[in-house]
């Protein structure tokens, strides 16, 4: 009995891995919902990077690099291009802000950490769900129609 349970759990794990490897591209209302999630995360990341670039009080090279990468990740997220990379960058930068690894130039650091936590949750959700049908990734790797040709038949009417 024990090996059967291990085999069934291994099969369930392989199904999970296969599904998470290939993103879904839902259209309609679910696709529009994913577009809204992407836009919300992108606006938060780009505004965060603009605040970093404008503040100038902590103009370290590392802070400027993080701000530029955050804005690039936000734009990639907005357009739905390279979704896996954009969501990973967004989640890392947001979690870095929450854990105080990346300094925040705002006066109220608690609200910045709160917003960064929500941005990280949005990025992780988009990483799990995929970019949706209204994205550039859907245009590049979207739904394909596979046409399977009919099997050739032998002259007596039976299969080969």
Per-residue pLDDT band for 140 (boundaries 50, 70, 90) equals: confident
> What is the rounded average pLDDT of the residues 121-142?
86
DSSP 3-state assignment of 20? helix
**63-68 own/partner pairs: CB under 8 Å, 24+ apart:** 63/102, 63/103, 66/93, 66/96, 66/102
CB-based contact 31:133 (threshold 8 Å): yes
Beta strands in 19-105 (DSSP E): none
Average pLDDT in the chain: 77
- Specify whether the CB–CB gap between 90 and 37 falls below 8 A: no
- The sign one gets for the Cα dihedral 21, 26, 29, 32 is positive
Range ranked top by mean pLDDT from 3-12, 19-28, 104-113 = 104-113
Top pLDDT among 127 and 7 is at 127
CB 70 within 8 A of CB 45: yes
Query: 24-28, 43-47, 65-69, 143-147 — which one is most confidently predicted on average?
Result: 43-47
Taking the alpha carbons at both ends of the chain, their separation in whole angstroms is: 42
Q: 46, 75 in Cβ contact below 8 A?
A: yes
- For residues 87 and 123, the answer to whether their CB atoms sit within 8 Å is yes
pLDDT tens column, 46-102: 888 888 777 765 567 777 787 888 889 899 999 988 888 889 988 988 888 788 776
Could you give the 3-state DSSP secondary structure of residue 131?
Answer: coil
HSE (side-chain half, CA atoms, 13 Å) at 86 = 27
Which pLDDT score, from 0 to 100, does residue 19 have? 44
Q: Can you give the residue ranges of every domain in the chain?
A: 25-138
């Amino acid at each position: 009995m024990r090996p059967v349970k291990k085999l069934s759990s291994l099969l369930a794990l392989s199904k999970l891995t296969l599904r998470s490897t290939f993103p879904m591209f839902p259209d309609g209302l679910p696709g529009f919902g994913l577009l809204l999630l992407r836009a919300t995360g992108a606006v938060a990341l780009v505004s965060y990077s603009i605040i970093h670039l404008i503040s100038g009080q902590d103009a370290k090279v590392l802070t400027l690099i993080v701000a530029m990468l955050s804005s690039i990740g936000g734009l990639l997220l907005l357009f739905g291009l390279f979704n896996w990379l954009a969501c990973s960058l967004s989640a890392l930068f947001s979690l870095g802000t929450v854990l105080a690894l990346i300094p925040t130039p705002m006066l109220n650091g608690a609200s910045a950490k709160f917003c960064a936590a929500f941005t990280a949750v949005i990025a992780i959700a988009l990483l799990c769900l995929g970019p949706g049908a209204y994205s550039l990734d859907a245009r590049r790797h979207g739904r394909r129609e596979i046409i399977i040709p009919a099997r050739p038949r032998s002259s007596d009417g039976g299969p080969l």
